[in-house]
Amino acid sequence: MTAPVLAVSAQRTSTALLLAGAAARRGLETTVAAGPDTVRALSGRPVHWYGGPRLADRIAGALRLGLLEPPDDWLARLPQQLTHRRIELTTHREVTAQRGVTRRRPFFAKPPSDKSFPPGVYADAAQLPPASPGTPVLVSDVVAFRAEYRLFLLDGALAAASRYAVHGRLDPAPLDGDPYARAVRAFAARLTGHAPLPSASAVDVGLLDDGRWAVVEANMPWFAHGYAADPDGVLDVVLRAAGPYDRVRDGDRPFLRPAPDRATADRRTPPAARTP
């Protein structure tokens, strides 16, 4: 049987390096997806992916990748007792049409998963950076987090976790030994049974300044920094979230990233289009 491969982007992040080390300990080869020649060399082999969504969209068909991602509306569908703020999923067109409407000032806006524009707090819709009109946008009330944590979940259980920010500033640290470790694990357990996620997911949670715990957002594990989380646990999640299409579990198929429509550069082609 051909050994599986972990393909990574040419951007050598600390997480990619740590995952490559964890992969090597399991006998997995790590290859940089440097161009068409690399993709052709990997053809027919079981490939997993860690890297950005734009390159993933270009190589997924040739490498027969099944890429799992949270639904765009996942955060907006959560009960407010898990978010403690109003959140809605809209589009860039609809947000910019609200220029000057006071209920939108200030507001936090971000794309649900792709980095089509930087997330941030905007005083008015006129300040929103340009993007395609149909770009999905999550708009929410502004809240302040005392500490924020990234959870890597596998089958609903915590596979790895790390603190990544304190009072909005990057400050990674292992969850073990963190003063809020027990509370983080307890809050992670509360997420099970609410709005569904893929079996392999990355979810950010945080402690608000008022002492309540809240979900920050969900992420694609194959494009999420591990920060100070255990690389082996992160790798477990990444391998499930981005691997051979024909090994995707039935329950995960609704969460497959759609193939891009090359004519429009929008993700409109249904996942079934990648089925052999």
3-state secondary structure 9-69: CCCCCHHHHHHHHHHHHCCCEEEECCCHHHHHHHCCCCEEEECCHHHHHHHHHHHCEEEEC
pLDDT of residue 121: 92
Q: Which domain holds residue 248?
A: 5-69+241-274
By the 8 A CB rule, do 2 and 25 touch? no
**pLDDT tens-place string over residues 59-104:** 999 999 999 999 999 999 999 999 999 999 999 999 988 755 554 5
Q: How confident is the model at residue 127 (pLDDT cuts 50, 70, 90)?
A: confident
269, part of any domain: yes
pLDDT at position 126? 82
Average pLDDT, the chain: 90
Question: Do 63 and 18 lie in a common domain?
Answer: yes
Q: What is the total count of domains within the chain?
A: 2
For residue 101, the model assigns a pLDDT of: 54
Domain assignment of residue 223, yes or no: no
Q: 215 pLDDT exceeds 90?
A: yes
For residue 154, being part of any structural domain is answered with: no
